[in-house]
Amino acid sequence: MNPSTLATLTERATLHRRALHCMPELGLDLPRSLDYVRTALAAAGLEPRDCGPGLSCDVGDAGPLVAIRADLDALPVAEETGLSFASDTPGRMHACGHDAHGGALLAAAEQLAKTPPSGYRVRLIFQPGEEGAFGAVKMIDAGCLDGVSAIVGGHVGDLSEELAPGQAGFLPGPMMAASDRFSGTFVGSGGHGSAPHQTLDPIAALAQFIQAVYAFRSRRPDQRKPFVLSVCQVSAGSAFNVIPGSAEFKGTARTLEPAERDLARAGLEAACSGAALACGLEGRFEWIDGYPPLANHPEATRLSMKAAEDALGPGRVVELTVPSMGGEDFSYYLMKVPGCFWFLNTQAPESGITHPNHHPRFDVDERWLGSLAAVNLAAAEALALKFGRT
């Protein structure tokens, strides 16, 4: 890409990112963020329109329609970055880089407004609710993919150990995992810690369950396939000498294939019922479907990768070999149309930007924000030429 254009994209993406960063909002209700986006698009001479909980905006007069998506929601994290444009809302922070995604898409929109696409059209999708609120589903239900032939989207941060700062990573096929949750309760009878024989001890059942979960993980699934089970929250008891009446657990299961996903659910449920049976008490188990695995279209990924190489130059693009076990609701778009999701490493160790996504000190090296916009623009054009339908 022309160095002057890339510099402009970086400057504009940084300005918009900082504005969005200081106004973090959660879930599907993002009035301030969407007002900012709406105003910025209108100032560029574009015509945004409401689309479910978010916004979309079409650019171009004729030809096939391709989409670029950015998510906008933040996290319930107390910011500790010390940035001059830090969160103005206590307990909320853009700790995952969605502010950068939104800022880069606004910069791309301004570039498209100045130089409209020739022979194709671009739909800009500004989506709330990626952090567990199924925002993509609601946007699709509202019609954001109507007429769209293909889609592209990128994610900043430190999402792959295969990437150095400034490098873009692509992976055909499964790239991110299903993000399912599980929870449950062991219900005993409670009693005195000195007389466990007089009680039904839920902590004993909880301990057996946790041991069974990790033993199951190491024996039942195919060990050559990514498969993550983590018990992340336990709760029981109120005193050192009281056996509680109940014990609770919560966790997450991450898999890349439907069969492995089914196996995880069955194995966890069996572990819960088995621990309850062994301890003679009641076990209650709940499985909560999260986002499905994110699988990139192979040809769309190849074309996007080539477009990224042309836009960024040599040494900046990597074909990844290992998927991420994080989840992303971009998966729903890819279940509807061909497309590609990709990673951009925006760390800067020399500047202290080293914290992972979702950390209270997470930050991005803004020098790379123009690259995010440039690759999405280049990939959108490449996908329009290959998958476009009028």
pLDDT tens track, the chain, 390 positions: 789 999 999 999 999 999 999 999 999 999 999 999 999 999 999 999 999 999 999 999 999 999 999 999 999 999 999 999 999 999 999 999 999 999 999 999 999 999 999 999 999 999 999 999 999 999 999 999 999 999 999 999 999 999 999 999 999 999 999 999 999 999 999 999 999 999 999 999 999 999 999 999 999 999 999 999 999 999 999 999 999 999 999 999 999 999 999 999 999 999 999 999 999 999 999 999 999 999 999 999 999 999 999 999 989 999 999 999 999 999 999 999 999 999 999 999 999 999 999 999 999 999 999 999 999 999 999 999 999 764
- Residue 37 belongs to what H/E stretch? helix 31-43
Look at residue 389 in the predicted model and tell me its pLDDT. 62
Cβ-contact 351, 163 below 8 angstroms: no
Instruction: Measure the CA–CA gap between 138 and 133, rounded to whole angstroms.
Output: 9
- Domain ranges within the chain, ordered by starting residue: 3-177+292-387, 181-288
Phi, psi of 125 (to 5 degrees): -115, 120
Look at residue 388 in the predicted model and tell me its pLDDT. 76
Cα–chain center distance at 30: 17
Tell me the fold of 181-288.
Alpha-Beta Plaits (3.30.70)
* Tens of pLDDT, residues 314-362: 899 999 999 999 999 999 999 999 999 999 999 999 999 999 999 999 9
* Tens of pLDDT, residues 118-166: 999 999 999 999 999 999 999 999 999 999 999 999 999 999 999 999 9
Phi, psi of 36 (to 5 degrees): -65, -45
CA-wise closest residue to 110 among 23, 34, 10, 3: 10
- Residue 32 belongs to what H/E stretch? helix 31-43
Tell me the fold of 3-177+292-387.
Aminopeptidase (3.40.630)
Q: How close are the terminal C-alpha atoms of the chain, in Å? A: 27
Q: Is 311 helix (H, G, I), strand (E, B) or coil?
A: helix
